[in-house]
């Protein structure tokens, strides 16, 4: 290629897209005089699908650009630097001085306007002339950036960049870069898993139907126009959860979508698609506005309106809230059995007996699993006599009760079992958004599907109380916009989908996750701690489907 002058615009007359980029950089707090420092660096998979597809293209680009003083950079879908090739040693020195090495974050919010970060923001190819860069060290370069999109999903897979001296530009570089990006995209398609092609074929065979159709694979989601209009961000996370839980070839389930529309979902496992699943959505008329969810509280008996009601579940599953819902419109008086230790059996029992002898209203005796045996008789007698207030009892799961406590629970003909939060994955988006409104009604945040998936995969030993603490943490840091995995507490960013793991695999997964957390996500140190090579660790991370979305890794 013979250089052809393409004069850079004057710094005082910035293009509109550059003005917007500078504004984003400024709002992100990037100092124009940036001279290096703590540029976030994350470990990446050197054998990723993107790098495998790009390798031969990058080699060819290096051969064709040799002697031209241009350099090549490749960033992944997270805007992390995954490849550097330098024919111009000045650019290499500049990056090294700024601390920008493999795995470094090149986003506008980190290093300001640049051909990688700005392409990542705009999803379009762009040329950044010297003075148009936001930070001073980059102003000596002209950079060409072009997005790399997956040919099937159209998702941004990475950004390809060519950089040269600010006083040397070439109008042929932009089309040269675009062709290279297209070559990588074609290789992504060529290297696509057979399962994805099977998934695509199955989707295309039914996609023209008027009903809403979607297909979900390991790393791909396809929808027709009807489904695109119907589904919201949270619904995609729910679909992935249902795919994980599908243990037979087909299944039908009633759901309420993120939009409030009730649908009957038909799931079909696609043979040869490595777990890929086809979804058909049929709107249905629901008699109640209350969402129909797959893991809503299980009522053993709902026909009897008389007698006490037992609400059981692990701590933090929302037993008190469920009692208030059941008792409406009555206001509930709560009597906590834990207070017996403070007040004494006699005084606490006397107050309870006096209240139960007065009719009207609703009373909830909480934590009957903590009730001394002598006071169980007080409750049993009140239930036997009847005529008092509407009575509700709460306890640990019924399976954990024995002796007199189990006998007392058995007297309640209406029993509601609340599932633990870890079993309410499809509901989690609704629950979390409700908590957001309760904690901060003015907040305007949206949980991205990736966040919902990460949260749904957590074990949640603290149930709703634990989730509320996580939501509070997020609201302290973000009150508007999209919540990403990086906005979550660090301990909640590392997850594994474990539903189909054996006992040995679960133990292995737990050991790996604990090692990664112990070493703040550093895979090299974690591998040494576990006594395995980093290559073996990468293989086990992939096999056990452990992800580290947003975890700080060095």
Asked if the model's pLDDT at residue 499 lies above 60, the reply is no
Higher pLDDT, 213 or 492: 213
Which residue in the block uniquely carries the two structure tokens 């919540």?
483
β partners of residue 417: 298, 312
List pLDDT tens digits, range 77-127: 989 999 999 988 888 888 888 888 888 899 999 999 999 999 999 999 999
Q: Containing H/E element for 269?
A: strand 262-269
List pLDDT tens digits, range 505-551: 667 777 888 888 888 878 888 888 888 877 778 777 776 767 654 34
Asked if the model's pLDDT at residue 356 lies above 80, the reply is yes
State the CB neighbour count (10 A cutoff) for residue 473.
14
Dist. CA 61–CA 56, nearest whole Å: 9
Contacts of 217 (CB under 8 A, 6+ apart): 195, 196, 199, 273, 274, 275, 276, 277
Contacts of 448 (CB under 8 A, 6+ apart): 233, 482, 483, 484, 485
β partners of residue 173: none
Asked if the model's pLDDT at residue 293 lies above 80, the reply is no
Closest to 203 (Cα-Cα) out of 233, 225, 187: 225
- The pLDDT of 272-277, averaged and rounded, is 83
Q: By mean pLDDT, which of 119-128, 246-255, 274-283 is the weakest? A: 246-255
Which ranges of 334-427 would DSSP assign to H, the alpha helix?
340-343, 345-356, 373-385, 403-411
According to the model, what pLDDT value does residue 494 have?
64
Sign of CA dihedral 458, 463, 467, 469: negative
List pLDDT tens digits, range 418-472: 999 988 877 888 889 889 999 999 998 888 888 888 888 788 889 999 999 999 9
Dist. CA 374–CA 14, nearest whole Å: 82
Closest to 368 (Cα-Cα) out of 424, 415, 304: 415
53's tokens: 């597809």
């Amino acid at each position: 290629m013979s250089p052809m002058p393409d004069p850079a615009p004057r710094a005082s007359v910035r293009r509109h897209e550059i003005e917007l980029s500078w504004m984003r950089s400024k709002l992100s707090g990037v100092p124009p005089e940036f001279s290096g420092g703590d540029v976030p660096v994350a470990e990446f998979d050197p054998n990723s699908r993107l790098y495998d597809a790009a390798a031969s293209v990058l080699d060819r680009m290096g051969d064709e650009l040799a002697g031209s003083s241009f350099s090549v950079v490749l960033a992944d879908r997270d805007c992390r630097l995954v490849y550097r090739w330098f024919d111009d040693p000045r650019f290499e020195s500049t990056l090294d001085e700024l601390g920008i090495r493999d795995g470094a974050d090149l986003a506008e919010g980190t290093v300001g306007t640049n051909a990688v970060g700005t392409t990542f923001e705009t999803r379009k190819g762009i040329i950044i002339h010297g003075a148009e860069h936001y930070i001073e060290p980059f102003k000596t370069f002209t950079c060409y950036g072009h997005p790399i999109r997956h040919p099937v999903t159209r998702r941004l897979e990475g950004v390809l960049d060519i950089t040269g001296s600010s006083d040397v530009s070439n109008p042929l570089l932009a089309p040269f870069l675009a062709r290279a990006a297209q070559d990588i995209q074609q290789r992504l398609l060529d290297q696509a898993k057979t399962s994805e092609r099977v998934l695509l074929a199955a989707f295309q065979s039914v996609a023209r139907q008027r009903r809403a159709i979607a297909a979900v694979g390991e790393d791909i989601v396809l929808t027709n126009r009807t489904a695109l209009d119907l589904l919201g961000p949270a619904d995609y996370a729910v679909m992935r959860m249902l795919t994980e839980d599908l243990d037979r070839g087909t299944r039908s389930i009633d759901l309420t979508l993120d939009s409030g529309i009730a649908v009957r979902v038909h799931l079909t496992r696609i043979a040869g698609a490595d777990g890929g699943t086809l979804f058909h959505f049929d709107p249905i008329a629901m008699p109640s506005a209350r969402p129909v969810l797959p893991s809503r509280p299980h009522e053993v008996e709902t026909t009897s309106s008389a007698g006490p009601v037992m609400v059981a579940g692990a701590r933090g599953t929302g037993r008190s809230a469920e009692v208030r819902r059941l008792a409406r419109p009555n206001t509930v008086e709560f009597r906590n059995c834990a207070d017996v230790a403070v007040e004494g059996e006699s005084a606490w029992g006397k107050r309870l007996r006096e209240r139960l002898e007065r009719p009207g209203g609703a009373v909830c005796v909480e934590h009957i699993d903590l009730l001394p045996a002598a006071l169980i008789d007080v409750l049993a007698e009140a239930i036997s006599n009847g005529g008092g207030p509407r009575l509700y009892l709460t306890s640990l799961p019924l399976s954990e009760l024995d002796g007199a406590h189990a006998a007392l629970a058995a007297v309640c003909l209406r029993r509601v079992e609340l599932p633990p939060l870890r079993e309410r994955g499809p509901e989690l988006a609704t629950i979390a958004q409700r908590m957001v409104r309760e904690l901060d009604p003015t907040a305007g945040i949206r949980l991205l599907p990736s966040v919902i998936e990460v949260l749904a995969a957590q074990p949640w030993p603290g149930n709703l109380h634990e989730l509320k603490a996580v939501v509070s943490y997020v609201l302290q840091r973000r009150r508007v916009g999209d919540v990403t995995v990086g906005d979550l507490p660090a301990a909640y960013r590392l997850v594994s989908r474990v539903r189909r793991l054996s006992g040995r695999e679960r133990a292995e997964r737990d050991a790996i996750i604990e090692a990664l957390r112990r070493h703040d996500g550093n895979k090299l140190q974690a591998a040494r701690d576990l006594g395995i090579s980093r290559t073996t660790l990468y293989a086990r991370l992939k096999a056990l489907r452990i992800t580290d979305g947003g975890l700080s890794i060095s």
